[in-house]
């Protein structure tokens, strides 16, 4: 850098130009500043929008200034409201009082907290696998695991569904393994790629069970059939399915009785389980290998014992309770019925994710803003790069705690907002 700082100024201008491009395309993101309410899982207080944390003013008590409006939240991944469940809150409070907040460092240096061990044992049992390993996020779990498997499996080729999550793509790229992209959910295309792969190399097929933006389901059984035929490993991301589907909430693979055929199952603690963190489950050898060789695990601070204890309580509760899942499914059906009656276009998939399609980033954002401004409804617009341009949407995720009145109101609000933004699509 020159002494007068000219290169720094130029660098800043370049970044500002990129940000300006986002704004012109309607893809610049501001976050709704919320305080979610523990006493009401579908509600939150909203303090406006902010692009940067510095934009938010704090009151003398350390919280945002009073006077915020109360909003109904329709886009949370806390699918079952478990982040506010009394059993989960009690477990977190007990761990806080006994262990403190932080993990103290990586597990290699600071040691492993007993709640981490118990959680891994519970997760292994949930998926009927020999072992499990927890990470600080689902992104971390995917990136670290795929990276190390692709790097160390001999002559590895990874076959990745074209709509796999960014964390899976990052792990595959980091592995430097050969990668072949198969068309989304197209098992015929996957077969042709497997037929043309080197016979002497390792093969790993990576897919998701529930795709988070469209809400469709991956062809798990068919992929397992191909994996057996061609001697491939199967890596299945179940983050939008664990807690929700299958026996005891074990996911789509368990629901379809394919769990034993999955080599590595990846899940999250931050969605249906309502806490934070990610994990993998598989054989003892695979789990021990990832634990011993993956930099993303070795060099990351461990999951807080408070979060581990809370997640443990949540998993144990959902193993034995169908109440939350049953109520959520009832509300999913009611929301879909309401949208159909209003003539609102959405992707009708066999899952809990309801994408309301609103093409055009600016239009999608304007609809979401009207929902907030006029109806006190928070439903985040989904634009590029999360979805392709032209595939913009508002992603609705009903919870067990949305009332029938709130669902009717959502239909009225979407109908008005979409009509005013340009009408309904054919």
User: Would you list the domain boundaries of the chain?
Assistant: 36-73+323-420, 85-320
> How far is Cα 302 from Cα 107, in angstroms, rounded to an integer?
6
Residue 426 has a pLDDT of 43
Range list of β-strands (E), 172-250 = 178-182, 203-208, 233-237
> How far is Cα 118 from Cα 128, in angstroms, rounded to an integer?
15
Beta-carbon contacts of 273 under 8 Å, excluding residues fewer than 6 positions away, are 82, 242, 243, 311, 314, 315, 318
> How far is Cα 389 from Cα 157, in angstroms, rounded to an integer?
30
More reliable by pLDDT, 304 or 42 = 304
pLDDT level of residue 55 (50, 70, 90 thresholds): low
pLDDT level of residue 33 (50, 70, 90 thresholds): confident
pLDDT tens column, 277-331:
999 999 999 999 999 999 999 999 999 999 999 999 999 999 999 999 999 999 9
> How far is Cα 409 from Cα 377, in angstroms, rounded to an integer?
9
DSSP states along 347-402: ---SSS-EEEE--SHHHHHHHHHHHHHHH-EE--EE-TTTS-TT--EEEE---TT-
Q: Are 56 and 50 in contact (CB under 8 A)?
A: yes
Q: Residue holding tokens 């491939």?
A: 232
Range list of β-strands (E), 122-251 = 131-135, 157-161, 178-182, 203-208, 233-237
Q: Residue holding tokens 């609809």?
A: 367
Closest CA to 190 of 215, 160, 220, 211: 160
Q: Is the pLDDT of residue 76 over 70?
A: yes
Q: Are 277 and 308 in contact (CB under 8 A)?
A: yes
Q: Are 53 and 62 in contact (CB under 8 A)?
A: no
85-320: CATH, from 3.30.70.20, 3.40.50.720, 3.40.50.2300, 3.40.640.10: 3.40.640.10
Tokens of 325: 């899942």
pLDDT level of residue 379 (50, 70, 90 thresholds): very high
Give the length of the chain.
Answer: 426
Q: What is the largest CA-CA distance in the chain?
A: 67
Judge if pTM exceeds 0.95.
no
pLDDT tens column, 100-146:
999 999 999 999 999 999 999 999 999 999 999 999 999 999 999 99
Q: Are 119 and 308 in contact (CB under 8 A)?
A: yes
Closest CA to 72 of 397, 425, 383: 397
Q: Are 147 and 294 in contact (CB under 8 A)?
A: yes
Residue 37 has a pLDDT of 79
CATH number of 36-73+323-420: 3.90.1150.10
Q: How many CA atoms lie within 13 A of 393 on its CB side?
A: 22
Give CA 263 to chain center in angstroms: 21
Beta-carbon contacts of 1 under 8 Å, excluding residues fewer than 6 positions away, are 7, 8
Please give the mean pLDDT across all residues of the chain: 92
- Read off the pLDDT of each residue in 337-358 and give the average, rounded to a whole number: 97
pLDDT tens column, 230-263:
999 999 999 999 999 998 999 999 999 999 999 9
Tokens of 127: 């998926």
> How far is Cα 162 from Cα 164, in angstroms, rounded to an integer?
6
Catalytic residues: 271
């Amino acid at each position: 850098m020159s002494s007068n700082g000219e290169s720094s100024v130029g660098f800043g201008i370049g970044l500002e130009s990129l940000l300006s491009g986002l704004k012109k395309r309607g893809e610049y993101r501001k976050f709704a500043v919320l305080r979610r309410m523990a006493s009401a899982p579908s509600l939150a207080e909203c303090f406006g929008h902010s692009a940067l944390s510095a934009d938010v003013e704090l009151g003398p008590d350390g919280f945002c200034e009073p006077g915020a409006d109360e909003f109904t939240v329709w886009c949370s991944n806390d699918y079952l409201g478990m982040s506010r469940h009394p059993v989960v809150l009690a477990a977190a409070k007990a761990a806080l009082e006994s262990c403190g907040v932080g993990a103290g460092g990586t597990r290699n240096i600071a040691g492993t907290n007993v709640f981490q061990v118990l959680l891994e044992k519970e997760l292994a049992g949930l998926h009927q696998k020999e072992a499990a390993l927890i990470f600080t996020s689902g992104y971390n779990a995917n990136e670290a695991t795929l990276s190390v498997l692709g790097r160390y499996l001999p002559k590895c080729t990874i076959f990745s569904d074209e709509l796999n999550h960014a964390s899976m793509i990052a792990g595959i790229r980091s592995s430097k393994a050969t990668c072949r992209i198969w068309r989304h959910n197209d098992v015929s295309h996957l077969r042709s790629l497997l037929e043309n792969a080197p016979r002497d190399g390792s093969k790993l097929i990576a897919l998701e069970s529930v795709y988070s933006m469209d809400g469709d389901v991956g062809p798990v059984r068919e992929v397992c059939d191909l994996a057996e035929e061609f001697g491939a490993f199967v890596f299945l991301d179940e983050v939008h399915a664990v807690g929700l589907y299958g026996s005891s909430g074990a996911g789509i693979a368990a629901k379809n009785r394919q769990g034993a055929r999955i080599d590595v199952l990846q899940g999250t603690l931050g969605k249906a389980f309502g806490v934070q963190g990610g994990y993998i489950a598989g054989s003892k050898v695979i789990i021990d290998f990832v634990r011993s060789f993956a930099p993303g695990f070795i060099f990351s601070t461990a999951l807080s014992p408070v979060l581990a204890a809370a997640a443990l309580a949540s998993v144990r509760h959902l193993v034995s309770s169908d109440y939350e899942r049953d109520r959520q499914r009832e509300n999913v059906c009611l929301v879909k019925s309401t949208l159909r009656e209003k003539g609102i276009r959405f992707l009708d998939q066999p899952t809990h994710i309801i994408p309301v399609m609103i093409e055009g980033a600016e239009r999608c954002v304007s609809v979401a803003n009207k929902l907030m401004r006029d109806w006190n409804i928070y439903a985040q617009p989904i634009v590029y790069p999360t979805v392709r341009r032209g595939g913009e949407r508002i992603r609705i995720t009903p919870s067990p705690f949305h009332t029938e009145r709130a669902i009717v109101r959502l239909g009225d609000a979407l109908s008005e907002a979409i009509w005013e933004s340009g009408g309904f699509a054919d």
